[in-house]
Amino acid sequence: MSSQTPHTPADTQSTSPTPSRTLSLGISPCPNDTYIFHALAKGCIPLPCGFDLFMADVEVLNGRARAGTLDVTKLSLAAMAHVLDDYVLLNAGAALGRGCGPLLVAREPLSPADLAGARVAIPGRMTTANLLLSLHDVLHGPREEMVFDQVMPAVASGKADCGLVIHEGRFTYGGYGLHCVLDLGQWWESAYGLPLPLGAIAARRDLGEATILAVQDAIRRSLEYANANPAASRGWIREHAQEMSDEVTDSHIRTFVNDFSLDLRDEGRAAIRALLEKAAAISGGAGRGLPDLPLFA
């Protein structure tokens, strides 16, 4: 529940969280997630319940959310548009901000119009990056799905004409000899005047309001612990980001973890709502809106 505006999840039971209960929790191995969740995963803070950690690429998490198999999970905001009946968004743990958007990269310094019919490597159909590319509506060529860390090699080798870069690729694409053709975050901010929502934490509505809010508070306290003790999580972050230099890891955390990660606040919630409305319109036609359910805990 936001400290500024009260929100109540819909279709939840007002039951107290059971300390002996264990919830499945999905996060990605990216440094922003391991930084935020280290204290929670390692028991550095008091917890309302047990957590069974499942770590995977965000597109795998998107698929698990659509199947409803995780109690609490990180997911792309684009994927949230498909699971609103079952999940509610938490106000802590999100990746949302400015200067953090996905990049479209190519082997030559082209314009987006030059690539209108190009083959695009994408890091998953349900990613926010792919949704933003559709909203931009300039590239209409075939899209090939692959794990995010295969996108830049595919473009560099010529297997794809261009590619959508997310996560740490924002800082490393130059090492592959690639050029940024389009900064989709910059485009979103310019077009809509809002910070860009990339991913957030969602919880199953049927967990009950008390449990959902207790989990949200635990995530916020986990991030507060990380901010107060940044060295504590260093080894765990490095363990799951083995191919990243410390410099890239630090840049990743600075870019994707910010005040919105502690609390979305009204501005963050407005940005998410705007993106979800556009995602719903794309998936169901211009007349389709969001379901009549609260979006946020």
Q: In this structure, what is the dihedral angle of CA atoms 29, 46, 68, 147, given to the nearest 10 degrees?
A: 0
Please confirm, yes or no, whether 7 is among the known catalytic residues: no
Of 2, 5, 10, nearest to 295 (Cα)? 10
Distance CA 245, CA 172 (A): 10
Q: Which of 38, 136, 140, 167 is catalytic?
A: 167
* Residue 7: half-sphere exposure toward Cβ, Cα within 13 Å: 23
Give burial (CB, 10 Å; 0-12/13-18/19+) of 265: middle
Question: Are 117 and 93 a contacting pair, CB within 8 Å?
Answer: no
- Strands 72-76 and 143-145, by their bridges, are unpaired
Give burial (CB, 10 Å; 0-12/13-18/19+) of 98: middle
The count of other CB atoms within 10 Å of the CB of residue 246 is 11
Q: Could you list the active site residues? A: 167
